[in-house]
């Protein structure tokens, strides 16, 4: 068997990533050797594979759902925005340059279709099934000519397409119908049906609409997934504590000690890998929130400055909003601050940047004895080490090279008083290290907080992935889904006018 399926969506954030992960977990539990695939991803949340390739974190999460090691084949093209108009293009895990949106869609993207299809073919030759995720909507008719991630890849690999719609937003029936009706006849031939996501209430009230949709389009619905909190793991972009919560503040479990810990994450521009704080949000008694005003740091026991694709821009933003001065006051008072990657770089003495911002010499906040020089070659590694007496694993994604001239060693960075800095993403997922770090934070903050001894971030992540698999198994028509993956789109699907030009 060499089956495949493309999960498209009526909109961005319709649930494509979650549904793809859920199908991968359902299939692997059935003994199917399955892999995820997303031809082109636009995201500032990325991950480093074991071979040193950079891919979207969503695809790394989907690989975990499939219980396979992530590789560059699973996300051959990654776009990392640096502004509203340009992105760094990462091809097969390595950066190949900065490009404007017009330049990319004007020819570069279309030229990558062969690479994308080759990667997909290699995966299909290795796995029983490959579950592909689209991007945005397949009905973006202004971009169809150069598309390599939605109907372009579906047509190129003859993949059946399942369209996911978020009913919680409203207008899902119109979105389903309109999506199909805006596709060309050749594209419509591959759209097999629909999957409703985030439904609240009695499904029987929805069924007449699903029946009418089938009559109108000749295509069935493959299931109705109920709304569930806390499933947005490893989001592509947006402010979300993805393991436990909402946009502004995570839910908090009862603390093991007498006090809770409050963590404020500075919502800096072009914030990347904000998923680093998920492991903190997973700890009972830890409240995590994203902030953008200096007064919001006042009651925080720990302030985190996360990674960013615009270090100099983030530094300017911190100064403009008064957050830089508040961070200096915190450091002088011995109150905890943690900088990760770009957040580590802004805490240093100065930055020499002729690569990312091309601003040359820029003064940092001066809270750590570190000088940063931006190199054209990007560091992509999976380091392993020890800190605070505990084993630590992480991954690095940065152009900035740090010259640490003082302080106490801390991973690849340093510590001065209650200010820590490191380039290591993902380090807080190491349970022993996270607990040791939180004990240090609690002591410096004067809190009687005790980390819960049994919290395992890896186990919590597995529980979430199993919940996604359960959603598919319990609420999707898995027999029909299996036939679709194995045999492709049914023949004779009707054309829905007006359609788009071929």
381 three-class SS: strand
Please state, in angstroms and rounded to a whole number, the distance separating the CA atoms of residues 385 and 109. 39
Please state, in angstroms and rounded to a whole number, the distance separating the CA atoms of residues 445 and 327. 15
Tell me the backbone φ, ψ of residue 61, rounded to 5 degrees.
-65, -40
Q: 398, 399, 423, 425: which is the annotated catalytic residue?
A: 425
Active site residue 425: yes
Which helix or strand (DSSP H or E) is residue 76 part of?
none
Please state, in angstroms and rounded to a whole number, the distance separating the CA atoms of residues 274 and 15. 19
Contact criterion met (CB below 8 Å) for 336 and 418: yes
Q: 24, 119, 266, 341: which is the annotated catalytic residue?
A: 341
User: Can you give the length of the chain in residues?
Assistant: 502
Contact criterion met (CB below 8 Å) for 122 and 133: no
Given CA atoms 267, 421, 79, 121 in this order, what sign does their dihedral have? negative
Please state, in angstroms and rounded to a whole number, the distance separating the CA atoms of residues 250 and 127. 37
According to DSSP, the residues that pair with 305 across neighbouring strands are 339
Which of 41, 79, 87 has the alpha carbon at shortest distance from 62?
41
Contact criterion met (CB below 8 Å) for 35 and 63: yes
DSSP state of 105: I
Q: In Å, how far from its chain's centre is CA 196?
A: 22
Contact criterion met (CB below 8 Å) for 374 and 359: no
Could you tell me the CA-to-CA distances from 51 to 130, 290, 400 in Å, in that order?
A: 21, 33, 21
Please state, in angstroms and rounded to a whole number, the distance separating the CA atoms of residues 333 and 298. 12
Which helix or strand (DSSP H or E) is residue 94 part of?
strand 94-100
Residue 494: CA count within 13 A, CB half-sphere: 12
Give Cβ neighbours of residue 254 (< 8 Å, ≥ 6 apart): 284, 285
290: its two tokens: 């994203």
Contact criterion met (CB below 8 Å) for 152 and 113: yes
Q: Could you tell me the strand order of the sheet in which 86-91 lies?
A: 40-42, 77-81, 86-91, 94-100
Q: In Å, how far from its chain's centre is CA 172?
A: 24
- Tokens 């199909």: give the residue: 180
Please state, in angstroms and rounded to a whole number, the distance separating the CA atoms of residues 204 and 156. 38
Contact criterion met (CB below 8 Å) for 140 and 27: no
Active site residue 423: no
- Provide the terminal-to-terminal Cα distance of the chain, rounded to the nearest Å: 31
Active centre residues (catalytic):
341, 425
């Amino acid at each position: 068997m060499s089956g495949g399926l493309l999960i498209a969506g009526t909109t961005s954030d319709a649930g494509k990533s979650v549904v793809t992960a859920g199908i991968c977990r359902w299939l692997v539990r059935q003994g199917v050797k399955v892999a995820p695939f997303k031809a082109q991803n636009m995201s500032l949340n990325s991950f480093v594979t074991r071979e040193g390739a950079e891919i979207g974190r969503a695809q790394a999460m989907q690989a975990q759902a499939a219980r396979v090691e992530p590789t560059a084949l699973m996300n051959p093209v990654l776009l990392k925005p640096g502004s509203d108009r340009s992105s760094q293009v990462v091809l097969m895990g390595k950066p190949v340059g900065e490009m404007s949106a017009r330049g990319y869609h004007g020819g570069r993207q279309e030229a990558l279709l062969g690479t994308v299809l080759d990667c997909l073919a290699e995966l299909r030759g290795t796995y029983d099934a490959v579950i592909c995720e689209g991007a945005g909507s397949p009905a973006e008719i202004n971009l169809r000519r150069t598309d390599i991630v939605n109907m372009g890849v579906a047509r190129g690999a003859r993949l059946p397409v399942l369209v996911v719609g978020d009913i919680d937003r409203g207008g899902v029936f119109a979105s389903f119908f309109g999506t199909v009706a805006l596709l060309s006849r050749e594209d419509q031939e591959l759209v097999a049906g629909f999957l409703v996501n985030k439904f609240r209430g009695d499904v029987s009230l929805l069924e007449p609409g699903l029946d009418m949709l089938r009559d109108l389009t000749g295509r069935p619905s493959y299931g109705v997934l109920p709304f569930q909190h806390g499933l947005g793991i490893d989001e592509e972009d947006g402010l979300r504590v993805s393991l436990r919560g909402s946009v502004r503040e995570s839910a908090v479990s009862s603390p093991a000690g007498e006090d809770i810990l409050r963590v404020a994450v500075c919502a800096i521009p072009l914030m990347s890998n904000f998923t680093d704080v998920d492991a903190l949000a997973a700890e009972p008694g830890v409240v995590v929130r994203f902030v953008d005003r200096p007064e919001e740091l006042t009651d925080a026991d720990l302030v985190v400055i996360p990674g960013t694709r615009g270090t100099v821009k983030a530094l300017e933003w911190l100064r403009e909003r008064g957050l830089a001065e508040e961070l200096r006051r915190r450091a002088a008072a011995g109150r905890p601050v943690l900088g990760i990657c770009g957040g580590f770089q802004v805490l240093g003495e100065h930055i020499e940047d002729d690569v990312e911002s091309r601003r040359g010499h820029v003064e940092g906040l001066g809270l750590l004895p570190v000088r940063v020089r931006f190199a054209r070659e990007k560091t992509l590694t999976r380091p392993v080490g020890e800190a605070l007496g505990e084993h630590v694993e992480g991954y690095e994604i940065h152009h900035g090279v740090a010259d640490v001239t003082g302080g106490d060693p801390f991973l690849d960075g340093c510590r001065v008083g209650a200010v820590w800095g490191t380039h290591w993403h993902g380090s807080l997922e190491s349970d022993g290290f996270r607990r040791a770090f939180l004990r240090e934070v609690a002591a410096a903050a004067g809190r009687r907080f005790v980390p819960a001894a049994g919290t395992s971030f890896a186990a919590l992540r597995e529980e979430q992935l199993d919940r996604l698999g359960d959603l598919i198994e319990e609420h999707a028509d898995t027999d029909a889904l299996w036939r679709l993956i194995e045999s492709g789109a049914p023949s004779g699907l009707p054309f829905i006018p007006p359609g788009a030009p071929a």
